[in-house]
Structure 1
Amino acid sequence: MNVQALTLPAWLAHQAGARAHAIALRHKTLGIWQAFSWTQLQQQVLRVAASLQASGFRPGQQLVILSRPRPEALIGALAAQWLGGVAALFDPLQETGAQGEVLRQLSVDFVLAEGLEEITRLRDWRLEPRWLVYADARGLVDELSRGGAVEYARLPAIGDMPVPMQAQAVDMAFVFYQLGADGLERQFFSHAQLLKEARPLVEQQGLSDQEQALAARAFAASGQARYLLAPWLLAGFVLNFPERLETRDQDRRELGPTLVLGTRETYGRLYARVLQRLPLPGTLHRRLLDWALQEGAGRLASGIGEVLIRRPLRDVLGVGRVRVALLAGPPLDERTQRFFAVLGVQVLGWPGREVLDESGRYSTERALGLSVAV
């Protein structure tokens, strides 16, 4: 690969050439997993890039993406980057007042929104982008569909005009915004930086095209771009999107991923689900469970605990096949840390700088060696 391979779109093109018909990503829709090959994914990226280019999108401009995790959001980000632009990710679940203020301070000309709620929010904020595409048409009525909004599925097919790749290694690939005490704060990540950070993760954890990853946490977080999207393009594994955030636990159990990325809130939520299912303290069943799950348990207790408790618990949580469990953001609290260690799931912190956590606030990641189980 040449020097242009130091960009995310170049790695997409590489995977499409090397592994054309292998599955790149899947998305659960109405209970059924839909798959895109690497070739199909690249064609979708070029389709969106052609539409952006025809609307005047130029290198250095931003595509605002206001969406939960779904393929269209990822495709839109790669399309903007293909044209030398930047993907500005916003989480629809964040507080709307601050988010609206941020967007009003930006030059919002190009927006990919998830659906009705996000389009309504944009119009409540009196934002009128020249290019507005929505991914989910459910609930949209004619009045909202008018005014320039176009359904993703109705974007024109790739025409005869070429869409040359314009991304450069030094270009910004993603930007994340928040309002701070001194005004609008920005956090940029270049293509070269993302790929440089991703390579040690791919190499040290032996990530390959055989992995199944689940993109279930907040999409508008830099940890997603740094520890999941960039490694996905480098290693060429399958990236899976749940049907909805509300179904992510069920979809995880069904999928059985080998690679997961979560925050303290993610792992804490899974731990809380287990606590809700445990027998009451003091009962015979609870005493047996505590005996089998105790740290430093003997061979008998450990064997019984693995067969009767730990393995079923891992399956219930959907981590029975997990080989690499990553933690982005602040460290786990002591109880959650101890639980996953006893459960047999090695949660690995990854060194880094500041990231947006799931609540939308900046937080500093703890630098943990990959050999440390937390």
Structure 2
Amino acid sequence: MIYLDYQATTPLAPEARDAMMAWLDGPGGTGFGNPHSPHRMGRTAKAAVELAREQVAALLPAGGTVIFTSGATEAINLAIRGSGHGGTVSVSAIEHAAVLDTAGDMGKTHYLNVARDGQCNVNQDLPADTRLVCVMQVNNEIGTIQPTLDWHRKAKENNALYLCDAVQAYGKIEVTGADMIAISAHKFHGPKGVGALWVRQGLELQEVQTGGGQEAGVRSGTLSPALIAGMGAAAKLADQSLDHDREHIERLWERARDRFKDWQVNGSEEARWHGNLNLRREGLDVARLMSDCRNIMFSAGSACASGSGRPSHVLKAIGLSDAEAKSSIRLGFGRYTSLEDIDEAAETINAAAQAQAL
């Protein structure tokens, strides 16, 4: 099998797995302690959590707090619900469902337009009562990179906070300034079930998940040293491999663009993360294509929306018709993808697509 669905999840790095194992000891071991317990085993587990917190923070802006969560969805909920009530939440039309649905649940939502190239530009007005602006850094479906610094500046000019969903950016490109930043470990070769919300210094959130208040008094629940250690190790590896990974992915992108030169790219080819190739082909039956290419793991869109039968809200937001959106596929590749993987996948997918036209 060839895995080309890196936006849905990434393979667990061996270094992350190794870091986790010490904290999964059963009877007779010493690594299963509760990091909130005062005894020696608890203090040892807490030390592992704090080391991982430093490793994760190293790839985020200085002057903030890393709050561990169960993933980016919880981090986004904490940011949107915990940063206040009333007023309008302004969101880009191509945000992840975790942002769109949570903002909608809070009350008044204002949608920011996105251009055909997938860019949410700042030359649009915010409602006067906007309290929070949400614009992701890298889109999960089409990979376009947003002008987050400009949006942070605009939010401040309008006395609003700015939340950046950096799930697809963290560990790949520099994560720029914001008031709050959400990330998820399994998108940068860490384990599933753990993420974080970075909160700038001086910003106080209200508690959303009540209980023991283990994380900065705003996020309750016993932390998993194993998951967090894995996240920290993955973050450290991403930091060390940043340049190498970027160069490797550029080679993969160039090979993939050449092999799929007859397909139309959705969104800008320049202002995007090149580990995401979202393509369309007129009249393509994507369900049939995926059935004919069972050994190639790729997506018809966002994994979170797959199976709904609805055209992608992201592709619709950039102006594609229902037919164009439904004839699109997403290929995602990264650190553990080879050029041979791209070649074999392209040969299989192109042959299956051409067979549909016969």
For the aligned pair, the TM-score class normalised by the smaller chain equals: 0.3 to 0.5
Q: Which has the higher strand share?
A: 1
**Structure of higher RCO (CA pairs closer than 8 Å, 6+ residues apart):** 2
> Could you state the TM-score of these two structures normalised by the residue count of structure 1?
0.31
> Could you state the TM-score of these two structures normalised by the residue count of structure 2?
0.32
